[in-house]
Amino acid sequence: MATLSENFLFIILTAFLLLQSGYSDKVAGKIYSDVLSIHPCVILTNATHQIGCTSSLGGHVGVVHYIQSQDDVDWLIKHNDDHAPYIPLFTSEMFKKTSLKVLVNKKIISGALVIHGGKDGQAPKSGFSPVDDCPQDRFGMYNGNTEYGSCNKVKWNEGGNGMSFESYGIPIFALYNQTEINELIKCYRDNNQPINGSVPDYPLCAVELKDFMFAAKDTPTCIRKSKVPNPTQNQFCDPLGDYNVWGTLYPMEEEPKKGDIVVAAAKLDSSSFFHDLVYGADNDASGVIALLAAARVLGDMKRNGTEEPPKKPIMFTLFQGESWDYIGSSRMVYDMNKDRFPSNTWKVKSNGTTKDLKLKTSHIGYFIELNQVGLGDGPLWAHSDPISRKTKEVDEKVKHLFDELEKASKNTSVPVKEASTDKSQPLPPASFQRFLRSNKEIPGIVLTDHQKEFSNKYYNSRFDDAYNVQGNFTSDNDSRIYLSNTFTKRLTHVANTLANTLYTLANDGKPPKTELKVNEYLIGHLVYCSFYRANCDLYKEAFNTKMGKSLPSRAISRYVSVNTANNTLTIVTHNLLLYFTGYHLKTSSSCESHGPFTLYKMLGNSNDSKEMCANGTVYYSLAESPAFELEQYNSTEYSTWAESVWNADLSVRMFLISSPQRQAVTLASGIVMTLFSFVLVYFIHRKADQIFTPAPGILEDLDAQS
């Protein structure tokens, strides 16, 4: 039987607690200051290892130390015992493998922050590439080859430090909001900065970093754990992957013969140490932009009917996930070998009957790959594979391919030159390696801006951005969407060479009557859309009005990410290739795809904002490593990269910590207060009937109810 006094007391206590919790939220707001503009480093796993960063479930706390020089690193090592663990705030120049490793190994730090952008976050002059010096060697075609394997002839990425492929066991974030960075530096200067080398006193500026990663050890382990029913967590990691984009200029009506198809390829992704902080300007956007521009000029030719259609098919392909052991290209080759490419039905005439089109690697007559092509003012270097060229037939075709490229580029300021005239040098890392790995009879050339080592000092890093390829060229202004600078001029030449060569090769050696000419403004516009703002006019033209509105007002990340969500970059590229190579139907009718044709309603280049319909043969094809279909999670043949799952509460919070003595005093007084309130409550409870005298009627009513 509840008495009124008990009820009353309960209400008072509840109200008190509610007030208290509201109050404590406010206090937390005062103590913690959230740093919101962050890019985490996350855990990825492959067949045998985990790489990247993680905190414990509750996050890691450490005292901030601003690292601007080696002296600051040395100070931390010397004062390890004082206030450790520390969380260093690195300038981009000081975020190096050597500093990071020594601090992690000596357990001096429990996390790290890196400044990106602004004065402290500029690209190190000496270069920075956090991947291996011989990228993707194990999954290319020279794996195990004593002559060419392990970059025995050329160390392609000489400056590569491999930082991305280490496992740190601490959280690491990049910060990019200058206001927030300055606040953090001020907090450090006001509280932590050693004066004349002495140890600072409490209170100290500290941060809490939270990015707990669920995956651990390797991909077989995390897939196995994901398959076991678990009430709290059902997914630990997801395979990396997305879609390739490919298409042909004209629809293929007849089954192609062996060696018929002329392929133009590029990769559609890049990587960096930090999740989604991936601009990939030289590697990969330069190649993608030149390829799309070449597709555009060939598409104009097709729509205007200015040239005869070439006799053989021209195929464009853009591979996703290539930075992670060639996911997209290895999957396309795998599908071709399994007679599953293309995956859509496409009826073709063959010897008087109709059958489903099945493309195989043997259908490829020439393979031209645009790799990193945007840097410097030197020639475009043509790389070929010495092993397949030992076959006379292949060698002759490669020579022919090279001659055509050389001819088409002769009058430009970016001539094509052979990287290794004596055929002693192997291919650089390239998607083409995955085709040759399966079929050594494909003649092909990989075009790059480097003869030996990469010209790109920032390969697969966050610094391979617009600045890397075009210097201080800024554009925050719509009237300047038509950028024009050395980079766009160079890409225009590359695209011209590609377009004319593709036509000539597909037309049995007969070049177009009038040279195909890429519009430099188109390149400028593509550069603008890729590096500054995705909701630009050109991208909007390739989307329907509704979808166009959802394009972001910043550059789209070029990280492949996991296979559970579709990449915006892939969709944009698909639509652009369709827009550029397809017919433009001035109809707002249903726009439904028929047979092999992809029809998509898009805005097009009209001022009355009436949508049109693009009709072409452009498709997605799955870019997910065959290892996951074959369930060979420890594969050494196919990529096994997977990305860890994490909670939504990734965070960086800044606060002041007081000295341990002060904390102890606060705790003790808290305990005393709590005990005192218990005594008080007990007393009030016992004397309740004397303190509170209820109205007589109510008491009876309540008793009757209960």
Ligand X SMILES: *[C@@H]1O[C@H](CO)[C@@H](O)[C@H](O)[C@H]1NC(C)=O
CB of 218 to ligand X, least distance (A): 8
* CA atoms of 175 and 39, how far apart (whole Å): 7
Q: With CB under 6 A as the contact rule, which of the stretches 73-81, 177-185, 355-363, 381-389 interacts with ligand X?
A: 177-185
Nearer to ligand X, 180 or 369 (CB): 180
CB of 151 to ligand X, least distance (A): 15
The secondary element (H helix, E strand) that includes residue 299 is: helix 287-304
Amino acid at 594: H
One residue of 1, 105, 195, 648 binding ligand X per CB under 6 A: 195
- Residues of span 390-419 touching ligand X by CB under 6 A: 407, 410-411
- Residues of span 92-131 touching ligand X by CB under 6 A: none
Nearer to ligand X, 138 or 399 (CB): 138
677 is an interface residue for ligand X by CB under 6 A: no
Q: Which residues pair with 178 in a beta bridge?
A: none
CB proximity list for 625: less than 8 A, separation 6 or greater: 239, 240, 241, 321, 325, 327, 330, 331, 635, 638, 639, 640, 641
Q: Is 266 exposed, middle or buried (0-12, 13-18, 19+ CB in 10 A)?
A: buried
One residue of 421, 553, 607, 706 binding ligand X per CB under 6 A: 607
304 is an interface residue for ligand X by CB under 6 A: yes
Residue 169 CA to chain centroid, in angstroms?
Answer: 22
* CA atoms of 50 and 194, how far apart (whole Å): 37
Q: What token pair was written down for 344?
A: 């859509």
300 is an interface residue for ligand X by CB under 6 A: yes
606 is an interface residue for ligand X by CB under 6 A: yes
Q: With CB under 6 A as the contact rule, which of the stretches 44-52, 102-110, 206-214, 673-681 interacts with ligand X?
A: 44-52
One residue of 43, 47, 63, 398 binding ligand X per CB under 6 A: 47
620 is an interface residue for ligand X by CB under 6 A: yes
Nearer to ligand X, 29 or 471 (CB): 471
Q: Which residue has the tokens 């993680």?
A: 54
Nearer to ligand X, 129 or 425 (CB): 129
CB of 350 to ligand X, least distance (A): 7
CB proximity list for 1: less than 8 A, separation 6 or greater: 703, 706
One residue of 472, 609, 661, 690 binding ligand X per CB under 6 A: 472
CB of 686 to ligand X, least distance (A): 52
**Closest listed residue to residue 465, CA positions, set 274, 312, 649, 616:** 274
One residue of 179, 345, 553, 705 binding ligand X per CB under 6 A: 179
* Helix-helix angle 97-105:70-78, to 10 degrees: 10
Nearer to ligand X, 503 or 620 (CB): 620
One residue of 232, 479, 690, 706 binding ligand X per CB under 6 A: 479
CB of 488 to ligand X, least distance (A): 16
Q: How many residues line the site for ligand X (CB under 6 A)?
A: 43
One residue of 143, 150, 177, 438 binding ligand X per CB under 6 A: 177
Q: Which residue has the tokens 């063959």?
A: 350
CB of 605 to ligand X, least distance (A): 6
- Contact code string over 566-595 relative to ligand X, x by CB under 6 A: x----------------x-x----------
- Contact code string over 196-235 relative to ligand X, x by CB under 6 A: x---------------------------------------
Q: Are 447 and 370 in contact (CB under 8 A)?
A: yes
In order, the DSSP letters of 443-464 are: -EEEEES-SSS-S-TTTTSTT-
* CA atoms of 419 and 592, how far apart (whole Å): 47
One residue of 3, 85, 118, 138 binding ligand X per CB under 6 A: 138
**Closest listed residue to residue 335, CA positions, set 367, 318, 359:** 359
471 is an interface residue for ligand X by CB under 6 A: yes
CB of 439 to ligand X, least distance (A): 19
CB of 177 to ligand X, least distance (A): 4
**Closest listed residue to residue 386, CA positions, set 46, 34, 148, 557:** 148
* CA atoms of 458 and 461, how far apart (whole Å): 5
69 is an interface residue for ligand X by CB under 6 A: no
CB of 9 to ligand X, least distance (A): 44
Q: Are 374 and 282 in contact (CB under 8 A)?
A: yes
* CA atoms of 199 and 202, how far apart (whole Å): 10
Q: Which residue has the tokens 């594979």?
A: 385
* CA atoms of 324 and 331, how far apart (whole Å): 12
CB of 236 to ligand X, least distance (A): 17
CB of 116 to ligand X, least distance (A): 13
CB of 599 to ligand X, least distance (A): 6
* CA atoms of 500 and 412, how far apart (whole Å): 12
Helix (H, G, I), strand (E, B) or coil at 614: strand
* CA atoms of 218 and 560, how far apart (whole Å): 19
Q: With CB under 6 A as the contact rule, which of the stretches 68-76, 300-308, 311-319, 672-680 interacts with ligand X?
A: 300-308
In order, the DSSP letters of 151-211 are: GSS--TTTTB--GGGSB-SS-EEEE--HHHHHHHHHHHHHHTPPSTTPPPPSSEEEEEEE-
* CA atoms of 413 and 467, how far apart (whole Å): 22
One residue of 634, 647, 659, 669 binding ligand X per CB under 6 A: 634
Q: What is the three-state SS of 253-293?
A: CECCCCCCEEEEEEECCCCCCCCCCCCCHHHHHHHHHHHHH
348 is an interface residue for ligand X by CB under 6 A: no
Q: With CB under 6 A as the contact rule, which of the stretches 80-88, 229-237, 297-305, 662-670 interacts with ligand X?
A: 297-305
168 is an interface residue for ligand X by CB under 6 A: no
One residue of 8, 32, 75, 165 binding ligand X per CB under 6 A: 165
Q: Are 383 and 454 in contact (CB under 8 A)?
A: no
- Contact code string over 480-519 relative to ligand X, x by CB under 6 A: x----------------------------------x----
Nearer to ligand X, 51 or 103 (CB): 51
- Residues of span 14-43 touching ligand X by CB under 6 A: 36-37
Binding site for ligand X (CB under 6 A): 36-37, 46-49, 51, 138, 165, 177, 179-180, 195-196, 243, 251, 300, 303-304, 306, 351, 407, 410-411, 471-472, 477, 479-480, 515, 565-566, 583, 585, 597, 599, 605-607, 615, 620, 634, 636
